[in-house]
Amino acid sequence: MTSDDHGDLAAPVLHPRPRRGWLNDPNGLAHVDGTWHVFFQHNPGAPVHGEIAWGHVSSPDLLRWTEEPVALVPRPGHPDAAGCWTGCLVDDDGVPTAVYSAVTAHASDAQVLLATSDRTLRQWKQGTTAVVPAPDDPAVTDVRDPFVLTVDGRRYGVQGAGGSGRDGRPRLLLWGCDDLRRWEPLGPLLTDDDPVAAAVADAQIWECPNLVRLDGRWLLVLSLWRAVGDGEGELSGVRYLVGDLEPAGAGLRFVPTTGGVLDEGPAFYAPQLLPDGDRVLLWGWSWELGRSVEQVADAGWAGLLTCPRELGLVDGVLTSRPARELDALRGAVLDAAGPFAEQAFEVLADGPVGLTLADGDHEQLVLDPAFAAGGAVRVLVDGSLVEAFAADGRSLTTRAYPTPTSRWRVDGMARVHRLELPAG
């Protein structure tokens, strides 16, 4: 689970991930009987996107993580033959139930499949029959990423959708699913006919929708798929919308009033949210940035999970900060004045601060001081993963790859702490 296991300085020592293979979207976040569970898209066999299963890690405290057995696996001859893609975890009358995108051959044929487990979430029984029919709309070429929520005692499912051509238009589909095995179509929850959604979340397909209650409002998070050619697209960041749910026939409509960019960094996508008592937690996927195919193959792994983040709203603007439990990782004070080679550390500054990774004559500006020009900043570094948080609630996720000869340098007045698991 740590880079110490295989000598790779770019791998994290505190953020959980399997030692080998591919990792992308976090899935199935859950807090069950005192244990945190994070699932994620995972290819155990190679550091490439293919043969996608659900990997699984668990923690008693959001600090110490255990790699669990792979949960869901592709099965020849079944709807998930080509992959078990993004979904969520539902407590269905005490039965943990994964609701996920089952891909038979291509992303465009994704269906919704169910899998059930006991409360350890280690042994899974995957279904064989899709529970959601394909939408009866020729303009919708792609549907995926089910997310289930409860509103006023009724359970609903939301799917991301749209068209993969350049003229494709995004939408969210709404279903009634009090019975997870019988989904009732309720029309669109949101389309780009809404001017706020169109301005904030311009895309051809809205992926990985998450809709949760936060500080008295409804928060919708969308990952953007934008067409760059016939049937080809690029992943173009994450947006949030804040608004209200209103009755619409037998279903609901989401009416946004404001929105913005969820994370300002170049290596952040497909987050999933988990309501947890008085807070909402978020994990995201940080992809490799500027690493060649050969470098990834040599490393044997690709993709990281971000740290868990707590979300808030201030005057309709989304804020993000590391989960409060992570304060316990703060260890010994380091010398911020000189370059250092620490693998996991935290930078705390009351004003603008920069972060540089230097290797001989080559210097990479990892964090520009302009990110926090207006106030304090907190930066978490773990291997190659860099997560910065400004006092006004903005976040930035990026990557930089240490080597045995590279050193980190903090530019500006700051306190630097080693990050490590607390004793005990």
What SS3 class is residue 4? helix
Give this prediction's pTM: 0.96
Cα 125 to chain centroid, rounded:
25
Under 8 Å between Cβ of 187 and 194: no
How far, in Å, CA of 347 to CA of 251, rounded? 47
Q: In this structure, are residues 227 and 204 in contact, taking their beta carbons and an 8 Å threshold?
A: yes
Dist CA 164 CA 228 (whole Å): 9
Q: Are 42 and 70 in contact (CB under 8 A)?
A: yes
**What is the residue-level pLDDT of the chain in tens, covering all 424 positions?**
443 445 899 999 999 999 999 999 999 999 999 999 999 999 999 999 999 999 999 999 999 999 999 999 999 999 999 999 999 999 999 999 999 999 999 888 899 999 999 999 999 999 999 999 777 888 899 999 999 999 999 999 999 999 988 999 999 999 999 999 999 999 999 999 999 999 999 999 999 999 999 999 999 999 999 999 777 899 999 999 999 999 999 999 999 999 999 999 999 999 999 999 999 999 999 999 999 999 999 999 999 999 999 999 999 999 999 999 999 999 999 998 889 999 999 999 999 999 999 999 999 999 999 998 778 999 999 999 999 999 999 999 999 999 999 999 999 999 999 999 998 7
- In the chain the first and final C-alpha atoms are separated, in Å, by 19
Determine phi and psi for 75, rounding to 5 degrees.
-130, 115
Per-position DSSP letters for 354-410, written without gaps between them: EEEEEETTEEEEEE-GGGGTTS-EEEEEETTEEEEEETTS-EEEEE----TT-EEEE
Nearest to 212 by CA among 158, 261, 263: 158
Single-letter amino acid, residue 396: L
- Which pair of structure tokens corresponds to residue 344? 């996991």
